[in-house]
Amino acid sequence: MYKILEKRYLNDTVAEMKIDAPLVAAKAEPGQFIILRVDEEGERIPLTIAGYDREKGSVSIIFQIVGATTKALSRKEAGDCIEDFVGPLGRATETEGKKRVCIVGGGVGCAIALPVAKKFHELGAEVTSVIGFRSKDLLILEDEFRAVSDKLFVMTDDGTYGEKGNVCAPLERMFAAGETFDEVITIGPLIMMKFVVAAVRPTGIPCTVSMNPIMIDGTGMCGGCRLTLNRDGERVTKFACVDGPDFNGYEIDFDEAMRRGAMYRDFERRAYDKACNLLKEGE
């Protein structure tokens, strides 16, 4: 059993927890993920590591309440325990040897982007961060990004906070002004990452994407995170959880990944509604 040390809500639908998991904290790196079960009858879900404290032995996770399991997890409070917390899994983001990087996060994907930005900052790189949300109500982690970024752009689709527009707008302005980076790393919804890659492509700057959004089982057995890469004229199959989560964004077939992701929406909605009804009956 793994004890919840702290819990806080970042907005109405996104929560952060610090879990007592010293063995995971000892090895964790930005970009990696864990698999947890809320209780012994619960499903296994992958969640990206949002932070870690090796001295205290704690690991932070940030999750959006969108399905049955995340709803059950959100009902837990500090002092409660969860059944399983396994990791770190996946390949860590490559952070060595880069002097100027741009980190682009969208929505709850900012929780994954933050430890990457922090690691580059600690290594002495110049970090430009672009974070985007649909509206001010969904804003998360602004202060944390500001602390590890030399330059920060905050975007909202409706203009209720920061600058109105999507995350590509400041990228295009910077490129037009002649700014360049050793790498652009983007983490967020698939459609956002697709357009970030398209914005970066004309510059030739390496563009890395995190394919966490399509992971389901986290071990490569379910096939749900299967990806098609267009590599050197050939179509190559990879799995986000065991071969990633990070990939060369120029190689990803985003349209195929989005079609596959949409296959599970109705099932997830039914599972979420069922979990909510069961919780209401138990109150």
What is the residue-averaged pLDDT of the chain? Answer: 88
Q: Give percent above pLDDT 90 in the chain.
A: 66
* Six-digit token string for 195: 């357009």
Average pLDDT over residues 139-164: 96
Q: Which of 236, 43, 135 is nearest to 226 (CA)?
A: 236
Count of domains for the chain: 2
Residue 219 has pLDDT above 70, yes or no: no
Residues 31 and 112 in one domain: no
Least confident of 120-124, 193-197, 236-240, 267-271: 267-271
Mind listing the pLDDT tens digit for each residue in 3-13? 999 999 999 89
pLDDT on residue 279: 47
Distance from C-alpha of 72 to C-alpha of 112, rounded to nearest angstrom: 21
In percent, how much of the chain has pLDDT > 70? 88
Pick the last residue of a domain from 31, 62, 89: 89
125 and 39 housed in the same domain: no
Tell me what the mean pLDDT of segment 92-104 comes to: 93
Residue carrying the six token digits 């890395």 = 208
For position 222, what pLDDT does the model report?
Answer: 66
User: Is 242 part of a structural domain of the chain?
Assistant: no
32 & 62 share domain: yes
What integer pLDDT is reported at residue 239 of this predicted model? 80
Q: What is the mean pLDDT of the segment spanning 269-281?
A: 49
Give the separation between CA 281 and CA 283, rounded to whole angstroms. 6
102 and 197 inside one domain: yes
Q: Is residue 241 part of a domain?
A: no
Higher pLDDT: 6 or 68? It is 6
Residue 139 has pLDDT above 80, yes or no: yes
Say how far apart CA 176 and CA 71 lie, in whole Å: 44
Pair 57, 122 in one domain: no
CA geometry: angle 211, 205, 155, nearest 5 deg: 65
Please determine, for residue 81, whether its predicted confidence score (pLDDT) is greater than 60. yes
Q: Is the pLDDT of residue 278 over 50?
A: no
**174: containing domain:** 94-205
100 and 200 part of one domain: yes
3-state secondary structure 173-233: HHHHCCCCCCEEEEECCHHHHHHHHHHHHHHCCCEEEECHHHCCCCCCCCCCCEEEEEECC
pLDDT band at 245 (very low <50, low <70, confident <90, very high): confident
CATH number, position 72: 2.40.30.10
> For residue 271, what pLDDT band results from cuts at 50, 70 and 90?
very low
Q: How confident is the model at residue 276 (pLDDT cuts 50, 70, 90)?
A: very low
Predicted confidence (pLDDT) at residue 259 exceeds the cutoff of 60: yes
Which residue among 205, 237, 254 closes a domain?
A: 205
- What mean pLDDT do residues 90-113 have? 93
Question: Could you tell me if 111 and 184 lie in one domain?
Answer: yes
In sequence order, the 6+-apart residues with CB closer than 8 A to the CB of 233 are none
Residue 56 and residue 153 in one domain: no
pLDDT over 50 at 150, yes or no: yes
CA–CA distance from 7 to each of 27, 59, 79 (Å)? 23, 12, 9
Tell me: do 109 and 79 sit in the same domain: no
Residue after which a domain boundary falls, among 35, 55, 89: 89
Question: Above 80 in pLDDT, residue 71?
Answer: yes
User: What is the mean predicted confidence (pLDDT) over 26-48?
Assistant: 91
